[in-house]
Structure 1
Amino acid sequence: MTQALDTSEQEIFLTPSAAKRVAAIAEKQGKPAMLRLAVEGGGCSGFQYKFELAEAVESDDVTAVESGVTLVVDEISLDLVRGSAVDFVESLGGSAFQVTNPNAASGCGCGSSFSV
């Protein structure tokens, strides 16, 4: 069952900066403003984040909405990222989506891999 969570119960968050970037990418590609965050095995630390534009919300997804943009996370990935914030960060080293994950025991220098 799809769960739309309000901020008092929200299990995952999308920052305004990330929402703005997703909206811009989705508009250029002619897709819905919907970002899917998934966790896969692999990476330097055991798990890695995967981002992609989503076409639809699946029945087992949890969603968070910010500024009209939807963040979509499947229930299995949610167990590893619950309480996280997805942000879009621009720095001298480049720009990227970044997950601030309170469940991660360690991470790697690239910021896309973590362990629990």
Structure 2
Amino acid sequence: MSASTTETVDTADLPAHDVNLSDVAAQKVASLLDQEGRTDLRLRIAVQPGGCSGLIYQLYFDERLLDGDAVREYDGVEVVVDKMSVPYLAGASIDFEDTIAKQGFTIDNPNAAGSCACGDSFH
């Protein structure tokens, strides 16, 4: 497999990650994918340097599969984690809140030793 590709790949051959996506979050992702009108997109979750505490989460739609990616499917939604982020996200749970006080995806990560006051970064 090349470094990146948009061709059809059998994701069953890729390793799985253990990030959990709640039913509510999976439904929201499916809804957003429907709005995009594309069937080639997956939800990519990554950890990157940044923020007040050193690391930040990135959630975005991606058509690529990269070498070393781990994939898991939730109700028709493919969730991809790159190989460098897998250890940082092991056992993490992603949910979606839609209340008057907050709307958006939330990440409960047992690997985060602490976070900043804004809640956008962790270490």
Corresponding position of 1:17: 24
CA deviations over 1:7-44 (Å, ceiling 9, x no partner): xxx52111111111111111111223521001110112
1:45 offset after TM fit, Å?
1.1
Aligned equivalents of 1:68, 1:59: Cα separation in 2: 22
Is the partner of 2:67 in helix, strand or coil?
coil
Which 10-residue stretch deviates more, 91-100 or 37-46? 91-100
Corresponding position of 1:2: 14
CA deviations over 1:43-74 (Å, ceiling 9, x no partner): 12110001101213323111121111111100
CA deviations over 1:60-96 (Å, ceiling 9, x no partner): 1111211111111001011111111111122333311
Gaps of 5+ in 1: none
Contact 1:60/1:75 (CA < 8 Å) preserved in 2? Answer: yes
Aligned equivalents of 1:16, 1:53: Cα separation in 2: 18
Aligned equivalents of 1:114, 1:35: Cα separation in 2: 21
Aligned equivalents of 1:40, 1:101: Cα separation in 2: 15
Q: Which runs of 4+ in 1 moved over 3 A?
A: none
- TM value normalised by structure 1: 0.84
Aligned equivalents of 2:34, 2:24: Cα separation in 1: 16
Cα pair distance change 1:109/1:76, threshold 3 Å: same
Paired residues, number: 110
Contact 1:13/1:64 (CA < 8 Å) preserved in 2? Answer: no
Gaps of 5+ in 2: 1-12
Contact 1:34/1:72 (CA < 8 Å) preserved in 2? Answer: yes
Aligned equivalents of 1:49, 1:69: Cα separation in 2: 19
Contact 1:98/1:112 (CA < 8 Å) preserved in 2? Answer: no
Contact 1:89/1:96 (CA < 8 Å) preserved in 2? Answer: yes
RMSD of Structure 2 on Structure 1 (CA): 1.7
Which 10-residue stretch deviates more, 84-93 or 15-24? 84-93
Corresponding position of 1:35: 43
Corresponding position of 1:114: 122
Contact 1:2/1:57 (CA < 8 Å) preserved in 2? Answer: no
